[in-house]
């Protein structure tokens, strides 16, 4: 399993900058790490789904739901019970159907029978979605979502991190070697 240090050494070899005694002279190690991080940032902004995964999110009261650390919400799939089992699928509500979505609130919500039926994205905040009907106070509800989380910047301290332990490292390590 490759580490970032091994990937950097391969890149230095490809750049003819790995001569014994003069390693990383033309392209210092920190410059290569900075380029690596710039590449990750660009890759995450252009192809966020490469860094996506499932999460279980506890809904907060109301309609607006924000997921900390999420760069892009791809989908809200289903509502889950206390054991994490799916109880209902949640459909995406078209942004053009917002007027139909804004129906009168339920006067008395049954805390034992809350069911989310739809969601829509917040066009201004990629880490926020709106759930329909809004979650009433005192009700526990969780949903399964797919969202992207951009990787943390690599530093010299993380040079020995195995590629399999870091999704971005594994992804870019394969790209760098044409594998």
Please give the model's pTM, rounded to 2 decimal places.
0.68
What confidence score (pLDDT) does residue 109 get? Answer: 54
For 26, half-sphere exposure in the C-beta direction (CA atoms, 13 angstrom radius) is 10
Contact 4, 159 (CB under 8 A): yes
Q: By the 8 A CB rule, do 143 and 149 touch?
A: no
Q: For 38-93, how does the pLDDT look when each residue is reduced to its tens digit (9 = 90+)?
A: 988 898 888 888 889 999 999 999 999 999 888 889 899 999 998 999 999 999 98
CB-based contact 105:134 (threshold 8 Å):
yes
pLDDT at 178: 42
Kindly report whether the peptide bond that precedes residue 123 is cis, defined as omega within 30 degrees of 0: no
What is the β-pairing status of strands 72-80 and 62-66? unpaired
- Give me the mean pLDDT over the 19-29 stretch: 89
| Tens of pLDDT, residues 82-130 | 899 999 999 998 765 555 555 555 555 566 789 999 999 988 898 999 9
Instruction: Report the distance separating Cα 47 and Cα 142, nearest Å.
Output: 27
- pLDDT exceeds 80 at position 36: yes
User: What local confidence, expressed as pLDDT, does residue 4 receive?
Assistant: 78
Q: What average pLDDT does the segment 25-40 reach?
A: 90
């Amino acid at each position: 399993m490759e580490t970032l240090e091994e990937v950097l050494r391969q890149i230095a070899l490809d750049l003819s900058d790995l001569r014994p005694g003069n390693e990383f002279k033309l392209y210092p190690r920190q410059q290569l790490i900075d380029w690596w991080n710039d590449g990750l940032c660009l890759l995450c902004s252009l192809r966020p789904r490469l860094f996506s995964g499932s999460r279980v999110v506890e809904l907060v009261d109301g309609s607006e739901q924000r997921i900390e650390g999420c760069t892009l919400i791809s989908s809200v799939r289903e509502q889950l019970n206390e054991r994490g089992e799916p109880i209902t699928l949640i459909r995406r509500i078209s942004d053009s159907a917002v007027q139909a979505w804004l129906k009168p609130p339920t006067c008395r919500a049954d805390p034992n029978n809350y069911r989310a039926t739809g969601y829509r994205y917040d066009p201004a905040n990629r880490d926020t979605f709106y759930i329909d009907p809004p979650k009433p106070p005192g009700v526990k509800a969780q949903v399964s979502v797919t969202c992207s989380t951009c990787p943390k910047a690599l530093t010299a301290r993380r040079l020995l991190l195995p590629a399999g332990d870091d999704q971005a490292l594994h992804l870019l390590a394969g790209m760098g070697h044409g594998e």
